[in-house]
Chains A and B, each alone.
Chain A
Amino acid sequence: MTAVASHLTPLPKSRARKVKNFVATAVIGLAFVVALVPLVFLVVYVVQQGSKVISWEFLTEDLPFVDRLPGGGMNPAVVGTLLITGAASLMAIPLGVLGGIYLNEYGGRSPLARFIRFLSEVMTGVPSIVMGLFIYTLVVLNTKEKTGFAGALALACLMLPIVIRTTDQMLALVPSELREGSFALGSRKVRTIRTVVLPSAAAGIVSGALLAVARAAGETAPLLFTIGIVREANTDLFAGQNTALSVQIFTNATSPFSVQQDRAWGAALTLIVIVFVTTIAARLVTAFFARRQTA
């Protein structure tokens, strides 16, 4: 240890240490740049390639009959992505929020709640392709048809553990004093949850749900074997096959025909816009409510 008496005049740092510090700072900064460059490049490239193809016709016309000929649009895929993701959200979000409420408000640290928390974590790690296989063997083989709903089920299974975990974590952030105050005023649990806890955690829960939606919208593997393909938009999720942007990108990405490659870029741009809008909405919700609460 250095001499205590000299603590008022700081010891000069040796050259070697200064150099090390500088190098380390430079390397860290470099890592940052290295990481962001490909990511930003990707978005720019997608926008560049996709905007060549994007047009009102692209979004509203049916898929062409013959893949390798130009023309047609991605309307069925846009409709499919929105409907299937929407249906999955309708199933997963309410159930997920309820599950999260159970874990935090009722289960606490009980063995059952800990077990369910553990399982939720395991389930977030299940690869999406396994979800697709699961729904294929359970639903498609038994109903003997590929439908948009089967795809929605697979996506809902992906979203459910994410929503449960974020709800659980957000609810845990609500200070217990708020709950206790509500109980002290004579409210029962349900009323407390409804009027005190949920509104406090609402921003975080909504944000977490939106992030799960964004993730589901971009998924390909669960839909590959479960929804089939169509050329015209199918708004009935329970009857007939369907298609989605992610699946179209996957199919077209490996094609040697430039028209198909162009369509893939257009679909990629559309999908990225949908995903980004949802993600940004999640952030805005958090920011908006945070401001409201501190005001």
Chain B
Amino acid sequence: MAVTAPPRPNDSPAPPSRGLGTGPRPPGILTDHIFRWVALASGLLVLAILALIAYTTIDNAWPWFRHEGLGIFADNWDPAKGEFGAGAMIYGTFLVGVIALVISVPVSIGIALFVNEIAHENLRKPIIYVVDLLAAIPSVVYGLWALAVLTKPLADIYQSISDATSGIPIIGDLTANPSKSGLGYMTAGIIVAIMITPIITSLTREVFATTPPSLKEAAYGMGATRWEMIRGSVFPHSRGGLVSAVMIGLGRAIGETIAVALLIGSSQHISENIFGPGDTLAAIIANQFGEAVGIQRAALIGMGVVLLVLTVGVGILARGIVSRYDRRSGAVA
């Protein structure tokens, strides 16, 4: 929209008819300052909310910490007798997380390698789209589906494995007493594995994609097969990112609530039967919240705090590992 300059009284040359010096006056320095503070306030909102979360949860959980002291880690969840040890839930959270990682990480790496190195160019985008869509499926739908479709067949599989391994010293103990309903650590672990695979896959894929092509070509140039190239160039380069992706997956697995609540079997004991029922921090909160007795409610909120600390801890660990690998390999952090 051309704006013609007003006629100039003296004979200095007319300024260009568009651009600088014409048009509505741009926002001044005041607007800049105001906007800066508004943006800063929004950023600080995160700080405020987290601080508030930390404060309200710890405040509400305090009676539990005071009541139990270090006993919060004991394996004795018995509200009727006034004992509120969360040991079984912490154990269950880690067990489910480890099972999920053991299943999910190799599969995710496989998908990432497939997409990056093996699949045809045209297949890549569709596969990535599909994986992202599957990451969007809500946890509750996974739980519903698993309840309807997975639990019965899994119960039979557990029984078969248990029968087959009954004599073997250590493994036999792990597989004894399988859950007849199919609910338990292993089932929850399998579902969580399915749920965290998309995110570990996409993170791993991005990490693999940063491998410099020169590194790959060098390997091929030396006569490597594709698998040798992957082992020699892609994996060493991606170590830090891989560990970080695994840690992020672990963080997601730890916090998984609804699907686990539906599948874990709700038994608050530390048990070596990985096919048997158990409980996790997130699941017990979802199932038992609203307890009338003050300390039990404090205990559940307190377990939320423990869960938060664990998740943050894993996150910090992930970043620490990444920066250590980055520093070692000389890449820019």
Contact = CB atoms under 8 A, between A and B. Distances in A.
B138 A264 contact: no
A280 B36 CA distance: 34
B70 interface: no
Interface-centre pick from B31, B132, B194, B285 (highest chain A CB count, 10 A): B285
A49 B145 CA distance: 10
Interface string A244-282: 001001100110000001001100100110011011100
Nearest to A27: B110
B42 interface: yes
29 contacts: A28-B114, A30-B110, A31-B106, A39-B134, A45-B145, A46-B141, A99-B42, A102-B40, A103-B43, A107-B43, A121-B315, A123-B50, A126-B255, A127-B257, A129-B282, A129-B307, A130-B53, A164-B46, A185-B20, A188-B26, A219-B138, A221-B282, A221-B286, A246-B140, A268-B145, A272-B137, A276-B133, A279-B132, A283-B132
Given A35-B107, A280-B133, A126 B53 contact: yes
B111 A254 contact: no
A197 interface: no
Contacts of A157: 49, 53
A164 B27 CA distance: 25
Interface in A56-113: 95-96, 98-99, 101-103, 105-107, 113
Interface stretch (B81-89, B220-228, B270-278): B220-228
Nearest to A247: B140
Nearest to B106: A31
B258 interface: yes
A13 B227 CA distance: 13
Contacts of B3: none
Chain B interface residue count: which class? 35 or more
A125 B255 contact: yes
Contacts of B11: none
Given A98-B39, A102-B43, A160-B45, A127 B311 contact: yes
Given A157-B49, A214-B136, A283 B315 contact: no
A289 B91 CA distance: 47
Interface in B168-215: 194, 197, 201
Interface in B276-318: 282, 285-286, 289-290, 300-301, 304, 307-308, 311-312, 314-315
